[in-house]
Structure 1
Amino acid sequence: MSTANKDATQYRPCVGVMLINGHGQAFVGKRIDTKEGDWWQMPQGGVDEGEDLREAAYRELHEETGVRREHVEFVAETENELFYDLPPELHGKLWGGKYRGQRQTWYCARFLGTDEDIDLEAHSHPEFSEWRWVERASLPELIIPFKKPVYRTVVEEFRDI
């Protein structure tokens, strides 16, 4: 996960958003494409070439949750990019085999809307089948195991928000 000794070109550029409601809980969605396990994650996705990271975060958040820009206030960003490697069984199977993992910039955002403003089918290709609000400390236990170190770092960096 550390950026030391990482060749950034081998990692897919990505953004993630910890969306926090008025009770301090974080949004998680259950991925539609997960065949094994009961894994939940925060909104995240790839950055298009030349795309501003914050704009990518708004785009991904909207595509995955339906939340519009006026219902979000970005309040923090991770200090450094966070890296994770795909497990060996996934090498060469995702992203056209171009990357060994992802390098992610995470944002913390306050949710200013209501639960009715969340629409998992807002995009033509939904990524989540269901969603819920959870205590932030539980996030690392909900994510697929190879992403746990990233989630621990995100929770720690945003713990005082």
Structure 2
Amino acid sequence: MADDDHLYRRGVGVMLLNSEGKVFVGARIDNTDDAWQMPQGGIDKGEEPWATALRELEEETGIPPRLVERLSAHPDRLRYDLPEELRDKLWGGKWKGQLQDWYLARFLGEDSDVNIATEHPEFRDWKWIDPDHLPDLIVPFKRDLYRRILQHFADYL
């Protein structure tokens, strides 16, 4: 644990692969730029990281846990820093960035099982992409994080 971990919001992320080895990405509803991301979200008090990952995945994509198979977990908690201009706008200015547990999972369903029109939608669009394209599609301040995720899960891709 780093001395400044308390400055980061605890969260999780999921790299979800389909049967063709492509990765799920969504375009955030609150971002008009052409930036895409993998599902992620904050851990609620008392919640375990993998349970959070399944909950967030379902909340953001409509994919129920029964259609998700856990393949691997990154051994480290990964962090990213928000740019200075965003820090006061997100999470009430409380956090400097996020400290996340990342999981690799296989999607066992069909595209018709994906429904981003959830109760509280976070994505305006979604698609499957080749893993190598992830760093090019994410906002710049998360690119190094995505490269680390890709490097660790490379044997599965």
In 1, distance between residues paired with 2:143 and 2:13?
14
Q: How far did 1:6 drift?
A: 4.8
Q: Name the structure 2 match of 1:80.
A: 76
Q: Deviations over 1:73-116 (max 9, x none)?
A: 01101110001111010122211111000001100000000000
Structure 2 residue aligned with 1:134, among 129, 132, 153? 129
TM-score of the aligned structures, taking structure 2 as reference length = 0.96
Q: Name the structure 2 match of 1:112.
A: 108
Matched, 1:145 2:140: yes
In the TM superposition, structure 1's runs of 4+ consecutive aligned residues that sit over 2 Å from their partners are none
- Secondary structure, counterpart of 2:116 in structure 1: coil
Structure 2 residue aligned with 1:32, among 29, 32, 36? 29
Structure 2: gaps of 5 or more residues: none
Structure 2 residue aligned with 1:69, among 59, 62, 65? 65
Closer/same/farther in 2, CA of residues 146 and 6 from structure 1, 3 Å limit: farther
- Secondary structure, counterpart of 2:154 in structure 1: coil
Structure 1: gaps of 5 or more residues: none
Structure 1 residue aligned with 2:46, among 50, 55, 73? 50
Q: How far did 1:159 drift?
A: 1.1
Structure 1 residue aligned with 2:10, among 10, 13, 16? 13
- TM alignment of 1:89-104, pairs within 5 A: 89-104=85-100
In 1, distance between residues paired with 2:88 and 2:125?
29
- The one-letter amino acid paired with 1:34 is N
Q: Name the structure 1 match of 2:155.
A: 160
- The one-letter amino acid paired with 2:147 is R
- The one-letter amino acid paired with 2:15 is M
- The one-letter amino acid paired with 2:6 is T
In 2, distance between residues paired with 1:6 and 1:152?
24
In 2, distance between residues paired with 1:124 and 1:79?
32
RMSD (Å) for aligned C-alpha atoms: 1.0
Q: Deviations over 1:91-143 (max 9, x none)?
A: 2221111100000110000000000000001x311000110000001101100
In 1, distance between residues paired with 2:81 and 2:39?
18
Q: How far did 1:61 drift?
A: 0.2
In 2, distance between residues paired with 1:22 and 1:14?
26
